[in-house]
């Protein structure tokens, strides 16, 4: 009791912080933080929880990570007493950071290993982004890798975009959120998960019991008994729900099980009748407990899993909303400071803003968190995959900011960008979420600035396109006698491709007297949303024979750092996914050995090649397998893939495993060169440069990195000189194993895509680079011999790629270049140093010759056109319009354009000219030129030329007075021109009569 009173006293005396004024009647931004006494309480008394005289004690073995076998959990939970349902959280308005910390400490005191959040870029190929806390543990749940700890707790950063249209419009939808989770890997199960969740919720966070509702799977009587009989939740507040709501499945087959959810009731005064837990205005689900206890088979039947698991998720933003007593998740201290920053730039006040402006500010607050953490984790805006998600979110922020009236950077510079300023606030709030974000500030802000300014230009193009669409809609309506309407597909094109807000499209259209087909727009939007949800809304798990094969196989002992050949035992043979006892000559096979010198592909380095063989008597080989690839499966089991070339290989036989030494040396050379390259890039173009991918092959290396522009030739030269200097210095490499935290504090750089344990291998080139790396490397930089960049190019927005060669591949490359240079010297009859000058002169001569030919063609076309002018005929009575439609043989497109311009000047206004030609095999060129009077009559060249070109298998466009088109069917050109002539006569006769 004394501890409880001390806790209560010091919570009352906590410091103020920045929270929304909506929960402070005086308009001051206040919140309570945990005091030093409260932290001391956790440090000294974490094995005990004291509240109203109740105690909970845990085994000291449990706290050290011991499993549950042969021991009991002493778990005392007093049944719910309606007399003790006062809101214990009323004076506990803690910050989001303290909620996260208290959750992790709560489960750490109960034997859980607190693990860091995984990257938003998952290793799992079935999803683009990390969408759930359980994703990093998927291999453990599948039984493909052994558990390293019996249970764990995390605060996982997550991204979900399937409900992006609901962001800002509801109280709870987000693209970026944190999922607090506790996980059991065959350790504790349903009873402990339920009781701890209740204790965390009602005692640790002090939520009133009479505001909590429970949902369970309709057939889960065990969960019902625990909640009602042991925890004491009244029957009327436990809702049995169907499979769609409370039975979790990973897919058509695989791990699954019932789940139980805890809901918070914002309106308990409404009572217990006609309850709908799906009513967002009253209830919010904040804690989901998944009891992963079955494997769903192909026939739909359920079989118990050998290892029952617990997977839970508590939404940090949702718990913050409850504890901080705000109307929605956005007004918590996790997001509200970002909204305030956006409000300042828009010169509005959130509290007094209208509903639409509040929604816009919430969208910006949510999306900017997602954007910052995605870019920090190496995802840059692009048109594909994860990069497209970032680009869409940035565009949504920019167009939303424009709706709010933010111009330029919001500080007076109309040519600036405002998203970097808001990102600075997100970064300032990132310390307890991801400590690496602040170190990447420069890259994040630069990427945002570049993407926003690029998109502003796109928006401006969208405005021009909208004007053209509205003009077309007005013209078509005038011809057809209908009310002008902009098609839903056109409005969606503006929205989706150009990021043009449909609200602005509607507003501008109304000013021009045009309505927007919103029904058609909504149809297009729904189609896109369905595709997005189908692609990104599930984590796929499967339990198949592959998992069973690996179940009894121990991790492979890797010997390849010290030796290239070794004796080993064949543990398993796999053919077409099935385990076999022997494999004969000519068959492809996957071989699992107990130990191996072969390096398995990881960290960008490809797997070794070589042989597995058995020799008997006089060195006669009676079994030979050629190894063409080595991969890791189920954690650290090496899978040797290849073909039996001779004999029969059997399980249990002792074999000799030998790596191809020459190829291994090529991999070592290129892997060390990759480390040197990364270090050189950081020195030459800036420390903010970071790796975005790599490939270490036997004959080359490929290195992807984040950078906003191509490297200059001088920079490439500097990089090469720096690396070759380090090679010439003959530096001895140093490798050592150390704790991950120690390696990071020493400045070691993590290789992209690698997953690290608590102990890591550090490869250091003293004075040059230090990286976490499990790959193979040279002993001395002199082994690399030489380094040469063979290409540098962009592969996505903000991502560059360097390909280079080293070692033997470097020598081969230089020799090949020298051979080709000698041939050039012979052909051009010059010395090597004069080749460039000679080629430049030849190129200039060629350019002049081409220009001369082009000029001659244009003159010829104009001469032909002058002879055609007298073929023009007159159409119309009120206005006499000269019309000319002619075929001009093989005149090229540029010359055809010049001929049309000559004829327009020669025939003068009013005139309408259409010319066609066949400049080459399978090619058609068309041009339409209409003078101002013809355009004023409502006849536009760009509209007229399209149907004509379509007859020739092509299309085109241009301006109202001048348009060009092409086609692929020359045989249809004469008929198309005849059609053009008759159409012009018909239309102009009507307009000019």
Determine whether 78 is exposed, middle or buried from the number of CB atoms within 10 Å of its CB (0-12, 13-18, 19+).
middle
For residues 36 and 452, the model is more confident at 452
Q: How far apart are CA 392 and CA 384, in angstroms?
A: 11
| Common-topology check for domains 96-328 and 664-817 | no
pLDDT (mean) for 175-187: 94
Question: Of the given ranges (4-13, 325-334, 691-700, 983-992), which has the lowest mean pLDDT?
Answer: 4-13
Question: Of the given ranges (386-400, 495-509, 544-558, 826-840), which has the lowest mean pLDDT?
Answer: 544-558
Please identify which residue in the block is written with the tokens 């466009």: 957
Pairing of strands 955-958, 962-967: antiparallel
Helices (H), 537-642: 545-551
| Residue 827, token pair as written in the block | 């052909």
For residues 454 and 804, the model is more confident at 804
Q: How far apart are CA 336 and CA 595, in angstroms?
A: 55
The SS3 assignment for 515 reads strand
The answer to whether the Cα torsion of 663, 665, 666, 667 is positive or negative is positive
Contact in structure between 930 and 960 (CB atoms under 8 Å):
yes
Contact in structure between 369 and 426 (CB atoms under 8 Å):
yes
| Residue 295, token pair as written in the block | 């494997």
What dihedral do alpha carbons 99, 101, 104, 107 form, nearest 10°?
Answer: -80
The pLDDT value recorded for residue 714 is 95
pLDDT (mean) for 37-41: 28
For residues 866 and 598, the model is more confident at 598
Residue 232's alpha-carbon distances to 73, 229, 605, 805, 875, in angstroms, are 19, 5, 56, 69, 93
**Secondary structure string (H, E, C) spanning 436-462:** CCHHHHHHHHHHHHHHHHHHHHHHHHH
Alpha-carbon Rg of the chain, whole angstroms?
35
Q: Encode pLDDT of 52-101 as tens digits.
A: 222 232 333 333 333 333 333 434 444 444 433 444 444 445 899 999 99
Contact in structure between 899 and 865 (CB atoms under 8 Å):
yes
User: Which CATH fold would you assign to the domain 96-328?
Assistant: BirA Bifunctional Protein; domain 2 (3.30.930)
Q: How far apart are CA 246 and CA 261, in angstroms?
A: 8
555 pLDDT tier (thresholds 50, 70, 90): confident
Q: Which residues pair with 632 in a beta bridge?
A: 638
| % the chain with pLDDT above 70 | 86
The pLDDT value recorded for residue 618 is 54
The pLDDT value recorded for residue 463 is 78
pLDDT (mean) for 888-895: 86
Please identify which residue in the block is written with the tokens 């200059």: 712
Phi, psi for residue 254 in degrees, rounded to 5: 115, -175
pLDDT (mean) for 754-765: 81
The pLDDT value recorded for residue 403 is 84
What dihedral do alpha carbons 741, 745, 747, 753 form, nearest 10°?
Answer: 30
Across the chain, what does the average pLDDT equal?
83
Binding-site sequence positions for Zn(2+) = 671, 675, 773, 777
Other C-beta atoms closer than 10 Å to the C-beta of 125 total 7
For residues 316 and 861, the model is more confident at 316
Q: How far apart are CA 51 and CA 372, in angstroms?
A: 41
| Residue 26, token pair as written in the block | 């005086």
The pLDDT value recorded for residue 140 is 83
Question: Of the given ranges (167-171, 558-562, 720-724), which has the lowest mean pLDDT?
Answer: 167-171
Residue 190 has pLDDT above 60, yes or no: yes
Q: Residues in the chain, how many?
A: 993
The pLDDT value recorded for residue 61 is 32
Other C-beta atoms closer than 10 Å to the C-beta of 448 total 26
Binding-site sequence positions = 671, 675, 773, 777
Max avg pLDDT among 259-263, 280-284, 442-446: 259-263
Residue 900's alpha-carbon distances to 130, 855, 954, in angstroms, are 58, 16, 20
For residues 589 and 20, the model is more confident at 589
Query: Tell me: domain 557-659, CATH 1.20.120.420, correct?
Result: no
User: According to CATH, what is the number of the domain 865-992?
Assistant: 3.10.310.40
Phi, psi for residue 414 in degrees, rounded to 5: -70, -15
The pLDDT value recorded for residue 476 is 82
The pLDDT value recorded for residue 251 is 64
Max avg pLDDT among 341-350, 497-506, 902-911: 341-350
Q: How far apart are CA 705 and CA 686, in angstroms?
A: 12
Q: How far apart are CA 605 and CA 775, in angstroms?
A: 7
The b/e string for 276-294 (b: 16+ C-beta within 10 A; e otherwise) is ebeeeebbbbbbbbbbbbb
The pLDDT value recorded for residue 412 is 84
Contact in structure between 186 and 172 (CB atoms under 8 Å):
no
The pLDDT value recorded for residue 906 is 83
Question: Of the given ranges (146-150, 209-213, 752-756, 928-932), which has the lowest mean pLDDT?
Answer: 752-756
pLDDT (mean) for 241-258: 84
The pLDDT value recorded for residue 619 is 53
Determine whether 129 is exposed, middle or buried from the number of CB atoms within 10 Å of its CB (0-12, 13-18, 19+).
buried
Question: Of the given ranges (38-52, 116-130, 856-870, 896-910), which has the lowest mean pLDDT?
Answer: 38-52
| Residue 468, token pair as written in the block | 């053209």
Q: How far apart are CA 789 and CA 803, in angstroms?
A: 6
The pLDDT value recorded for residue 499 is 67
| Residue 632, token pair as written in the block | 């890791």
pLDDT (mean) for 437-459: 88
Q: How far apart are CA 477 and CA 479, in angstroms?
A: 5
Domain ranges of the chain: 96-328, 337-530, 557-659, 664-817, 865-992
Q: How far apart are CA 165 and CA 173, in angstroms?
A: 9
Phi, psi for residue 358 in degrees, rounded to 5: -65, -45
The pLDDT value recorded for residue 551 is 58
The pLDDT value recorded for residue 852 is 84
Closest by CA position to 253, among listed 171, 142, 154? 142
187 pLDDT tier (thresholds 50, 70, 90): very high
Q: Encode pLDDT of 592-645 as tens digits.
A: 999 999 999 988 999 999 999 998 755 556 899 999 999 988 668 999 999 999
Phi, psi for residue 605 in degrees, rounded to 5: -85, 130
Question: Of the given ranges (228-237, 411-420, 476-485, 744-753), which has the lowest mean pLDDT?
Answer: 744-753
The pLDDT value recorded for residue 46 is 32
pLDDT (mean) for 310-336: 95
Residue 260 has pLDDT above 70, yes or no: yes
13 pLDDT tier (thresholds 50, 70, 90): very low
Domain at 664-817, CATH from 3.30.980.10, 3.10.20.30, 3.40.190.10, 3.30.70.100: 3.30.980.10
Contact in structure between 701 and 691 (CB atoms under 8 Å):
no
The SS3 assignment for 791 reads strand
């Amino acid at each position: 009791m004394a501890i409880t009173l001390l806790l209560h006293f010091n919570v009352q005396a906590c410091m103020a912080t920045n929270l929304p004024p909506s929960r402070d009647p005086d308009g001051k931004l206040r919140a309570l933080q945990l005091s030093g006494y409260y932290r001391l309480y956790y440090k000294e008394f974490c094995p005990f929880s004291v509240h109203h005289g109740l105690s909970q004690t845990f085994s000291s073995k449990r706290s050290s990570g011991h499993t549950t076998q042969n021991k009991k959990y002493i778990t005392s939970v007093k049944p719910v007493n309606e007399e003790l349902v006062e809101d214990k959280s009323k004076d506990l308005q803690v910050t989001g950071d303290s909620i996260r910390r208290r959750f992790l400490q709560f489960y750490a005191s109960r034997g859980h290993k607190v693990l860091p959040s995984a990257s938003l870029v998952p290793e799992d190929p079935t999803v683009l982004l990390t969408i759930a806390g359980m994703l990093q543990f998927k291999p453990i749940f599948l039984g493909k890798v052994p558990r390293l700890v019996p249970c764990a707790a995390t605060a996982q950063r997550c991204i979900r975009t399937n409900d992006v249209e609901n962001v800002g419009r509801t109280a709870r939808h987000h693209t970026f959120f944190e999922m607090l989770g506790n996980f059991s890997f065959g350790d504790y199960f349903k009873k402990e998960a339920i009781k701890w969740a209740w204790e965390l919720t009602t005692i640790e966070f002090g939520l009133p019991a009479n505001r909590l509702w429970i949902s369970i799977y309709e057939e889960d009587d065990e969960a019902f008994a625990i909640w009602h009989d042991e925890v004491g939740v009244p029957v009327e507040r436990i809702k049995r729900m169907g499979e769609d709501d409370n039975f979790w499945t990973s897919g058509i087959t695989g791990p699954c099980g019932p789940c139980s959810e805890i809901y918070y009731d914002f309106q308990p005064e409404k009572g217990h009748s006609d309850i709908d837990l799906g009513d967002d205005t009253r209830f919010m689900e904040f804690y989901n407990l998944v009891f992963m206890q079955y494997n769903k088979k192909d026939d739909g039947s359920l079989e118990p899993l050998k290892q029952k698991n617990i997977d839970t998720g508590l939404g940090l933003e949702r718990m913050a909303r409850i504890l901080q007593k705000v109307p929605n998740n956005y007004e918590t201290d996790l997001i509200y400071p970002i909204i305030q920053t956006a409000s300042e730039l828009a010169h509005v006040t959130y509290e007094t803003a209208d509903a639409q402006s509040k929604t816009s500010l919430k969208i910006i607050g949510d999306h900017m968190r997602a954007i910052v953490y995605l870019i920090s984790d190496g995802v840059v805006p692009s048109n594909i995959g994860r990069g497209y998600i970032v680009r869409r979110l940035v565009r949504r922020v920019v167009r939303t900011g424009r709706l709010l009236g933010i111009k330029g950077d919001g500080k007076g510079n109309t040519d600036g960008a405002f998203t970097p300023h808001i990102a600075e606030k997100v970064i300032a709030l990132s310390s307890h979420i991801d400590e690496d974000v602040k170190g990447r500030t420069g890259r994040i802000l630069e990427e945002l600035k570049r993407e926003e300014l690029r998109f502003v230009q796109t928006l401006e193009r969208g405005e021009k396109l909208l004007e053209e669409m509205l003009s077309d809609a007005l013209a078509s309506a005038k011809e057809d006698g209908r009310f002008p309407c902009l098609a839903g597909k056109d409005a969606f094109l503006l929205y989706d491709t150009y990021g043009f807000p449909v609200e602005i499209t509607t507003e501008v259209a109304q000013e021009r007297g045009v309505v927007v087909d919103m029904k058609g727009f909504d149809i297009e939007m729904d189609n896109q949303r369905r595709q997005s949800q189908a692609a990104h809304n599930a984590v796929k798990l499967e339990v198949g024979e592959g998992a069973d094969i690996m179940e009894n196989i121990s991790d492979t002992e890797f010997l390849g750092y010290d030796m290239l050949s070794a004796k080993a035992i064949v543990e398993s043979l796999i053919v077409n996914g099935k385990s076999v006892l022997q494999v004969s000559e000519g068959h492809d096979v996957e071989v699992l050995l107990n130990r191996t010198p072969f390096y398995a592909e990881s960290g960008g380095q490809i797997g070794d090649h070589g042989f597995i063989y058995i020799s008997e008597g006089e060195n006669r080989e009676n079994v030979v397998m050629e190894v063409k690839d080595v991969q890791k499966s189920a954690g650290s089991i090496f899978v040797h893939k290849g073909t039996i070339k001779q004999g029969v290989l059997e399980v249990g036989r002792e074999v000799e495993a030998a790596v191809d030494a020459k190829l291994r040396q090529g991999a070592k050379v290129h892997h060390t060169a990759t480390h040197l390259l990364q270090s050189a890039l950081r020195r030459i173009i800036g420390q903010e440069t970071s790796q975005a991918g790599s490939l270490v092959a036997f004959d080359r290396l490929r290195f992807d990195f984040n950078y906003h522009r191509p490297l200059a030739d001088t920079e490439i030269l500097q990089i090469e000189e720096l690396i070759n200097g380090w090679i010439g210095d003959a530096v001895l490499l140093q490798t050592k194993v150390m704790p991950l935290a120690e390696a990071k504090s020493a400045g070691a750089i993590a290789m992209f895509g690698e997953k690290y344990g608590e102990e890591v291998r550090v490869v250091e080139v003293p004075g040059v680079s230090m990286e976490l790396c499990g790959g193979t490397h040279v002993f001395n930089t002199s082994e690399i011999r030489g380094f040469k960049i063979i290409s540098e190019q962009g592969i996505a927005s903000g991502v560059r790629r360097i390909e280079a060669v080293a070692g033997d591949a470097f020598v081969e490359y230089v020799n090949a270049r020298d051979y080709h240079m000698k041939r050039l010297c012979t052909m051009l009859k010059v010395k090597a140093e004069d080749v460039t000058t000679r080629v430049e002169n030849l190129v200039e001569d060629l350019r002049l010759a081409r220009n001369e030919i082009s000029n001659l063609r244009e003159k010829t076309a104009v001469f032909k056109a002058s002879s055609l002018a007298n073929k023009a005929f007159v159409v119309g009575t009120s206005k006499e319009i000269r019309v000319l439609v002619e075929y001009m043989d093989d005149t090229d497109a540029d010359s055809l354009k010049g001929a049309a311009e000559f004829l327009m000047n020669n025939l003068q206004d009013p005139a309408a000219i259409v010319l066609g030609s066949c400049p080459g095999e399978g090619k058609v060129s068309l041009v339409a030129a209409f003078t101002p009077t013809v355009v004023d009559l409502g006849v536009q060249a760009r509209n007229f030329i399209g149907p004509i070109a379509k007859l020739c298998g092509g299309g085109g466009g241009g301006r109202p007075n001048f348009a060009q088109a092409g086609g692929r069917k020359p045989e249809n050109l004469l008929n198309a021109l005849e059609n053009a002539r008759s159409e012009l006569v018909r239309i102009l006769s009507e307009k000019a009569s």
